Structure 1
Amino acid sequence: MRFGVNHTPSVGWFHSWLDFSASDTARDMEAIASLGADHVRIFPLWPVVQPNRTLIRKQALADVATVVDIAGSFGLDVNVDALQGHLSSFDFVPSWLDSWHRRNMFTDPDVVASTAAYVEALAAAVADRPNLLGITIGNEVNQFAHAPHPSPHDITAEQGHAWAAAMVAAARRGLSSGGSGAVGLEARHASAPPVAGSAGSRPEPLVTVAQYDAAWYDDAQPFGPEHAADHGDATVTHSWVFNGSATLHGALGPGSVRHGEYLLQLAAAWNRDPARPNWLQEVGAPTNVVDPADAASFTEQTIRHVLDAQNVLGVTWWCSHDVSRSLADFPELEYDLGLFTNDGRLKPAGEAFAALAREHGSRAGAGTAATPAPTTTGLVLDDVLADGTTRYGLRADCAPGGRFAAAWLALAETDPDGRGPQVVLRSRLGDAGLLAARGITRCVDVPADLDGTALSVAHPATMP
């Protein structure tokens, strides 16, 4: 499994893109590499790169490419996020989308075309870098589509599909046609392997669409599970236990330390291709619900549970460095999420991450334990009604405290191997080939009474 870190610059936070420093970046990347990580995720600010709808700054693109090169010099692959978008409670939306120029970012034809041009240009600027892991369309852009955003850009699910498809196509155009010439610094560390499932020493970069967990838990959010599973090359999840998990279960309770594992299993149920990778692209130990004294244990338990999930591309921890206390107006929890302090001291959570990366990560080398066979039990998620129509309330049922979430956790906690069950959509129960490919030999229903620990076998899987 791949181990990575979301890079929060230690000097100037993401505002550092305004006065980019290669030396500051190199210091951060060297620290990240010292953890045994094999990749980083970086976040150029959208308004900095595209301050006008028809202006994409060449220097800003060059700065992004330089960061990719610097990371490569320390053996790190890089995933580049395009639309920031939203970071740590702050929105970074270009002025041509706001106030007097307010237009719907998902449906206005001129905006969609200009945004796609930016995504394509960004992808092209780094396309020839051998350590490019991929392009993510944006950081939790679905938060702009519905409440609790104070000024959402309203869309339908169908419009969300059209927007996501347009952005993925733009990224792929950039990757196929781009490249700025010389690669520059030595990029790929000899011990950092290609992305799982790729061929050759230079894997095809991934294109992904990232959403925050309302996509899985909020029935009113127009971006849903299908948008995550149907677009791009991997299904991305972001796991944060301040969503109610830690309140319900305690910071170190099973429902908290298994939340990342649960989201990965839930995501896998929506994949049409059973071999599609699943990526835990954000997970962290938020101090508003996880005591700093528990952060190392939370980190270790979270990652150990993720190790046994199916087709996991990797885990990318949020984040590399704490936010400097000299910067104002962040929510309190945002200041202390780093694996390093702002001045570069490794924290206990960072030590826990590093130990696991060195034991299980892609840079661990020979002797790393093989990925276990998938758990053979599938818990059935009622995604459709008797007439075949989509069931409203489906996502709420999956949210922390929901009936399905409780049933999954009950099964996970009683499994003799300590592994959570796979998730199977009821609409796909008849697909014997899909079940066989996922290694599922029995499917069980959510019981009417969740007080017990036993779930009855409802649908023996028909194996070919």
Structure 2
Amino acid sequence: MPRFGVNYTPSQGWFHHWLDFDLDAVRADLDSIAALGLDHIRVFPLWPLFQPNRTLIRPRAVDQLVQLADAAAERGLDVQVDGLQGHLSSFDFLPAWTRTWHRRNIFTDNDVVAAQAVYLRTLAAALADRPNFLGMTLGNEANQFSGPPHPDPDPVTPEQAADWLRRLLAACEEGAPGRLHLHAAYDAAWYQDDHAFTPAHAARIGAVTAVHSWVFNGTAQRHGRTGVATEHHAAYLIELSKAWAAEPDRPVWLQEVGAPAPLIPPEHAAEFTEATVANALDCRDVWGVTWWCSHDVSRDLADFPELEYGLGLLANDRRTKPAGEALARIVRDRRGRAYDPAPRTTALAVDTGDTGEGTGDGDTAPARSVCAPGGAFFEAFARLTEDGVRPAAVLASRAEDRAHLAARGITEVVHPEEVLGA
């Protein structure tokens, strides 16, 4: 059965809780998470607090992270740790030694990247002997620092981005060999033309492919809260990612998905949760589903986007909300049931503008906006789904590759113009 978990947002102080770490409060939060029947959490150290100077990683902060992991183990929860925070809920958290007077590119400056590697290796090594430690994610959507719309980006090329990912994942592996080490991007990697972090990076580098599904990206605005494209957006990203995977059975982790108001009104959050998870689990090779997020953000904290305050499965007082009840019900119903979705025999060909130079396998995907809401591939996939087809995605360059199609159980390939009319 796929794993079910939640992104842990502390009920007291949000991620600023690391400044006033209260293990009893953390234990109470974890009790409320475990009561939902979930089996893992994703945890977010704040990089500037853990590594405030390039050559200083605070031992007390690392010890507090270990204490949190041990408290999770006591409640039957495994732990995945994101290292470079990085970016969370519209706020950036970058160390002073990378900004203003010390401005250095976080992806390409050798001193900065070397320090990041030491930091990630240190966190991984501190947890390496804990049986409930799943592994490291390099950071939360670090790709948003690489270019527009970030107001002060750190420019990087796709080649440099790949080097950065591989170097830091190697550091995680050195710290904790054999664990689940990966990276995660927000959907510009799939949808934004010429974005430096590419679908190929997501689907070919790291232990599993991570997808983050948010329907405020134009999907719900275009298709409505109950639209097929909205309720299948997470499933769409899972299938889209598999077009770029080198292995036909590469695991995909739905690492972030949530019900953002007002596009998904609070009174419909449970319905959206049920539909999203059911559709995601109609995809093969899903490693797990990790909801965003555990607890609401307190209204005592200022300047968050309005939608961030109410995304929790649990209220700020740890009371279970309807979406939390829905996810708990899904977990109970799925427990003990076989997970073996049928192959998706019809594939939609995706052409993202690669010229065929080099591997010809979509390495750069310069025109990937066809995959975004409103793009021809996105809308054709939605149309097929609405018509009752369970489409897969295949790169146009592989549409005639019989061995590749057979390995994925694909018997028919169609093109967007055939579905939409041209």
Give 2:375's match in structure 1, choosing from 402, 413, 417.
402
**What's the CA shift string for 1:373-394, capped at 9, x where partnerless?**
2211111112456765668663
Q: Aligned residue for 1:119?
A: 120
Name the counterpart of 1:455.
none
TM-fit CA distance, 1:153: 0.2
Further displaced range: 370-379 or 402-411: 370-379
1:89 aligns with 2:90: yes
Equivalent residues in 2 for 1:173-188 (5 A)?
173-176=174-177
Shift of 1:434: 2.3
Work out the CA distance in 2 between the residues paired with 1:264 and 1:351: 25
1:288 Cα deviation from its structure 2 partner: 3.1
Judge conservation of contact 2:352–2:370 (CA < 8 Å) in 1.
Answer: no
Residues 436-460 of structure 1 show CA distances to partners (whole Å, capped at 9, x for unaligned) of 22111221112256169xxxxxxxx
- The CA distance in 2 between the partners of 1:398 and 1:147, in whole Å, is 18
Whole-Å separation in 2 of the counterparts to 1:375 and 1:448: 18
1:403 Cα shift? 0.5
1:230 aligns with 2:204: yes
Distance, in Å, in 1 between the alignment partners of 2:135 and 2:390 is 29
Instruction: Report matched runs for 1:61-460 at 5 Å.
Output: 61-176=62-177, 204-360=178-334, 364=335, 366=336, 368-384=337-353, 394-415=367-388, 420-448=390-418, 450=420
Cα distance, 1:161–1:392 mapped onto 2, change above 3 Å: closer
**8 Å contact 1:226–1:270 — kept in the other structure?**
yes
Give the superposition deviation at 1:369: 3.2
1:401-420 CA deviation, whole Å, 9 max, x = no partner?
111001111111212xxx63
Instruction: Kindly state the Cα deviation for residue 229 of structure 1 after the two structures are TM-superposed.
Output: 1.3
Partner SS, residue 321 of structure 1: coil
**Aligned AA (1:410):** R
1:383 touches 1:427 (CA, 8 Å); kept in 2? no
CA distance in 1: counterparts of 2:55 and 2:404, whole angstroms = 46
Task: Please tell me whether the aligned partners of residues 280 and 315 of structure 1 are also in contact (alpha carbons under 8 angstroms).
Answer: yes
1:27 aligned residue: 28
Distance (Å, rounded) in 1 between the aligned partners of 2:170 and 2:106: 17
In structure 2, what residue type is equivalent to 1:440?
I
Q: Deviation at 1:427?
A: 1.6
Structure 1 residues 343 and 132, CA gap change in structure 2 (3 angstroms): same
- Could you list the per-position Cα deviations for residues 81-137 of structure 1 after superposition, in whole angstroms to 9, with x for gaps in the alignment? 000000001001001011110100000010010111101111111111101122100
Q: Between Structure 1 and Structure 2, how many residues are aligned?
A: 417
Give unmatched runs, 5+ long, in structure 2. Answer: none
Structure 2 match to 1:199: none
Give the distance between the partners of 2:419 and 2:235, measured in 1 at CA. Answer: 24
Alpha-carbon distance in structure 2 between the residues aligned to 1:369 and 1:162: 39
Comparing 286-295 with 323-332, greater Cα deviation is found at 286-295
Of 387-396 and 18-27, deviating more is: 387-396
Native 8 Å contact 1:238 1:283 kept in 2: yes
**AA at the equivalent of 2:393:** V
The one-character-per-residue Cα deviations of 1:314-336 (angstroms, maximum 9, x if unpaired) are 11000000000001111111100
d(CA) in 2 for partners of 1:354, 1:266:
28
- % same residue: 53
Cα distance in structure 2, aligned partners of 1:163 and 1:105: 9
Contact 1:413 1:420 survives alignment (8 Å): no
SS at match of 1:124: helix
CA distance in 2, matches of 1:209, 1:384: 25
Across the aligned residues of Structure 1 and Structure 2, the Cα RMSD in angstroms comes to: 1.6
Residues 68, 407 of structure 1: CA spacing in aligned structure 2 closer, same or farther, 3 A cutoff?
A: same
SS in 2 for 1:207: coil
What stretches of structure 1 of length at least 5 have no aligned partner?
177-203, 453-464
Contact 1:384 1:426 survives alignment (8 Å) = no
Which amino acid in structure 1 is aligned with residue 372 of structure 2?
Answer: A
Aligned residues of 1:384 and 1:427 also touching (Cα < 8 A) = no
Q: TM-score, normalised by structure 1?
A: 0.87
Query: Counterpart amino acid of 1:313?
Result: W
Are residues 51 and 142 of structure 1, via their aligned partners in 2, closer, same or farther at CA, if it must alter by over 3 Å? same
State how far apart, in whole Å, the 2-side matches of 1:385 and 1:97 are: 34
Question: Following the alignment from structure 2 to structure 1, what is the Cα–Cα distance between the partners of residues 104 and 354?
Answer: 37
Tell me the secondary structure at the aligned position of residue 41 of structure 1: strand
Question: In 2, distance between residues paired with 1:52 and 1:401?
Answer: 44
Shift of 1:294: 1.1
